[in-house]
Amino acid sequence: MKRLLFITLIVFTQSASSQTAGPLDAYIKEALANNLILQQKNITLEKSLISLKEARSYFLPTTYFDGSYSLAQGGREITIPVGDLLNPVYQTLNQLTGSNKFPTIENVSEQLLPNNFYDLRIKTSVPVYNPALKYNRGIKEQEIKLKGNEIDIYKRELVKEIKQSYYNILMADKAIHIYTSALNVVNENLRTNQSLLKNGKGLPAYVSRAESEVKSVETQLSNANNEKQKAIAYFNSLRNANLADSVILSEINLPEETQKAIQDYADNINGREELKSLAIAKDINYQTLKFNKAYHAPRVNAFLDLAAQDFNFKVNNSSFFYLGGVQLTVPIFAGNRNLYAIKQTEFDIQSNELSDKHLRKNLELAAFNSKSNAKNSYNNFISSIKQEEAAQKYFKLIDRGYKEGINNFIEMLDARNQLTQSQLQKELTRYRLLAAMADYERQTSSYTFN
């Protein structure tokens, strides 16, 4: 027994592929492809990819059409003193020439608001220098990694749930076979005692006890069938199938070959996506901090307008023009809002550091407890094997003694109950061990996705 305890936890990692061979492996792939929650998370990832493309688009030129047409009457006017300037000259010319060829003209007034005026432009602008765009793009890239990690986290949890629910189906199926076999035995005992009573050799109490045993086993068999249907329904819900769909069952054998004692196996949580997500969150916080600190940096944009302007919808060579240039924006004061944002981000970074330490300790504890549970499950499984062997031998002896008249009916029923319970206990501990292995595999992220 002591030597049997030195089973390695390679069982939980290197043998994972052998444990999931056959239908279970196919069901895992199907669940990863069809699970509804996983599909929702994939949609969220796709949205993040679109968001990254949007962040990258801000580096490209922006071009749009802008047009206006205006009517105006009244308002301020500008006076052009052409009469005051030219009339003295014209009078002198008329005197010199002795004629009236140069008439007197009036001053001219022109309203400032353009009337019957159109302005059409194709405007283009492009950022030349804007550090906020770079940091925003970096944040979006990290958010995509974060969403990808969230998907991997759920996928690992889904694999564990698929395995454990499949083991529950197998366990219920084994219970059905055991209770069916037990039902055959108690029915045979009932017929035997009824025959003995009919021939005057039996006791009514034995018949009543046999009938009670039949009812008890029938109830247990019915409950086992119900548990199997519940397990199948949950299993099918995980893979997004009809709840009543049949499930292909295949026996899963525990690996026998081991390479390292379970007591020496090192817990490894470095592969946990939760830690990777925290690391990405740290990077996002640092990118956000850089983004906030860049508030004082100047922004430089270049622009170009291809335009046409004129009155009365006239279009000629003088209507067309272009206007280009460079625009510089330098933030000076914004009510210290940027400083407050920087301080908040610094607090976020400190909080993230504490969360990392707390999460790491929790994951280490979870892996340690999972390995301990696996040890206990294995010990219980080895013990149940021995108990079943002993119960099997005891039942054979009592059953033979009962047929030979050495043992009474009550002793035979007790031996049969011990055998049934030991068989159930062995299967229960067996699949609990497999479930514990699936949990340890989840706690150490040792399952490999194809």
| pLDDT, tens digit, 9 for 90 and up, residues 364-407 | 898 888 888 888 888 888 899 899 999 999 989 988 888 888 88
Q: What per-residue confidence (pLDDT) applies to 260?
A: 38
Q: What's the CA angle centered on 298, arms 292 and 303, to 5 degrees?
A: 120
Edge-first strand listing for the sheet containing 62-70: 62-70, 117-129, 299-311, 320-329
pLDDT digits (tens, 9 = 90+) for 241-270: 999 899 999 887 765 533 333 454 556 788
Domains and CATH numbers, the chain: 3-71+121-443 (1.20.1600.10), 77-113 (no CATH)
pLDDT at 67 over 80: yes
| pLDDT bucket at 20, cuts 50 / 70 / 90 | very low
Confidence (pLDDT) at 118:
94
Q: Is the pLDDT of residue 197 over 50?
A: yes
| CA-based nearest residue to 123, from 70, 62, 58 | 62
How much is the pLDDT for 63?
Answer: 95
Give the pTM.
0.75
| pLDDT tens digits, 405-425 | 888 878 888 888 888 889 888
Mean pLDDT within 361-365 = 90
Q: Tell me the C-alpha distance between 430 and 118, whole Å.
A: 86
State how far the Cα of 406 lies from the Cα of 398, in Å rounded to an integer: 8
**Per-residue confidence (pLDDT) for residue 267, from 0 to 100:** 66
- Tokens, residue 236: 């099918």
Q: State yes or no: pLDDT of 166 exceeds 70.
A: yes
**pLDDT at residue 429 tops 80:** yes
Pick the residue with more confidence: 263 or 202?
202
The Cα 172–Cα 234 span in angstroms is 13
* pLDDT for the residue numbered 265: 52
Asked if pLDDT for residue 208 goes beyond 70, the answer is yes
**What region, left, alpha or beta, does residue 328 occupy, with left being phi > 0 and alpha being psi -120 to 50 degrees?**
beta
DSSP letter assigned to residue 255: P
* 100 touches 56 (CB < 8 A): no
The chain-wide mean pLDDT, for the chain, equals 85
pLDDT band at 100 (very low <50, low <70, confident <90, very high): confident
Helix (H) or strand (E) holding 411: helix 409-443
Instruction: State the average pLDDT over residues 334-348.
Output: 89
Predicted confidence (pLDDT) at residue 120 exceeds the cutoff of 90: yes
Q: What is the pLDDT of residue 15?
A: 41
Provide the pLDDT confidence category of residue 170 given band limits of 50, 70 and 90: very high
Q: Identify the pLDDT of residue 64.
A: 94
Is the pLDDT at 7 greater than 80? The verdict is no
Give the pLDDT score at 1: 34
